[in-house]
Amino acid sequence: MTAPGRRFRDAVRSNGLFLFFIALFAAALVGQALSGVAAENAQRVAENLPEVSLAAYVTSSAFGVDVAENWQSEYLQFLLYIWATVWLVQRGSPESKEPGQEGRESDEEQKIGAFADADSPRWARMRGVRSAVYGRSLGLVMGLIFGASWLAQSIAGRSAFDEERLEQLQDPVGWWGYVTSPEFWNRTFQNWQSEFLAVASMVALSIYLRQRGSPESKPVGSAHTDTGVEG
């Protein structure tokens, strides 16, 4: 195999987990768009309205709110999980630190400043604001994506909600009226409760169940009480 071909193969193999889920994401998004426009047109036919094109549907507020509300709930889940695992523990879970090790840990344990390795990220070798920001960068970015997704959901949702009200000859409610409405929070809590249940299930089930070879599971022969051990 030529050098470029080998480099490509190695790059794909080294990033297989990311590429796999990005491919699934793209396929699911396309599937959502195709099934969504089909459902929308079926409804419009039943109401004797003209059908909409795929392009018109994927740029509509109805499609936008469905996508954004799923994104914000997922990123909220990860944001809370990242933060909670700093301070909370679960004995027996491979996702948890050992009881008694709660907290942000020492600079030596985190390889910060003078304790950094030669190949540590540059900001980890520094002190002050840059080190503090980098040490919280994962949670900060997850929080920013959650906030942006929540805002996008509220804007697109308000537009879709007002369109429905106008069709029913009702006055539009505006952005603030929508984000304080039962409609908005009903949609939001539907997504949040499922995400929180999924995380709680993963934490609890990983204590007693195993998946051989997965870093999300303990080794098959590990005791149920072993904590922070990965397979």
- pLDDT in the model for residue 210: 84
Mean pLDDT, the chain, integer: 87
- pLDDT in the model for residue 24: 95
Residue at 12 is within a domain: yes
Query: When comparing pLDDT for 108 and 149, which is higher?
Result: 149
Residue at 21 is within a domain: yes
- pLDDT in the model for residue 140: 93
- pLDDT in the model for residue 214: 84
- pLDDT in the model for residue 8: 82
d(CA 65, CA 189): 14
Q: What is the mean pLDDT of residues 123-143?
A: 87
Question: What's the total number of domains in the chain?
Answer: 1
Q: What is the mean pLDDT of residues 127-131?
A: 84
Residue at 11 is within a domain: yes
Query: When comparing pLDDT for 34 and 100, which is higher?
Result: 34
- pLDDT in the model for residue 147: 94
Under 8 Å between Cβ of 171 and 165: yes
- pLDDT in the model for residue 165: 78
Residue at 15 is within a domain: yes
The boundaries of the domain holding residue 34 are 1-59
- pLDDT in the model for residue 75: 92
Residue at 3 is within a domain: yes
Would you place residue 151 in the very low, low, confident or very high pLDDT band (cuts 50, 70, 90)? Answer: very high
Residue at 65 is within a domain: no
Residue at 54 is within a domain: yes
Q: What is the mean pLDDT of residues 141-159?
A: 92
DSSP class of residue 125 equals: G
Q: Which amino acid is at 115?
A: F
Q: What percent of the chain has pLDDT over 70?
A: 98
Residue at 188 is within a domain: no
pLDDT at residue 1 greater than cutoff 60: no
Tell me the range of 3-17, 90-104, 143-157, 159-173 where mean pLDDT is highest.
143-157
C-alpha to C-alpha distances, 141 to 76, 135, 148, 202, nearest whole angstrom: 11, 12, 10, 23
C-alpha to C-alpha distances, 56 to 40, 59, 65, 114, nearest whole angstrom: 11, 5, 14, 56
pLDDT at residue 141 greater than cutoff 90: yes
pLDDT at residue 76 greater than cutoff 90: yes
Task: Please provide the DSSP assignment of 40-103 as one string.
Answer: HHHHHHHTT-----HHHHHTSHHHHHHHHHHHHHHHHHHHHHHHHHHH---TT-TTSPPTT--S
Would you place residue 2 in the very low, low, confident or very high pLDDT band (cuts 50, 70, 90)? Answer: low
The pTM of this model reads 0.82
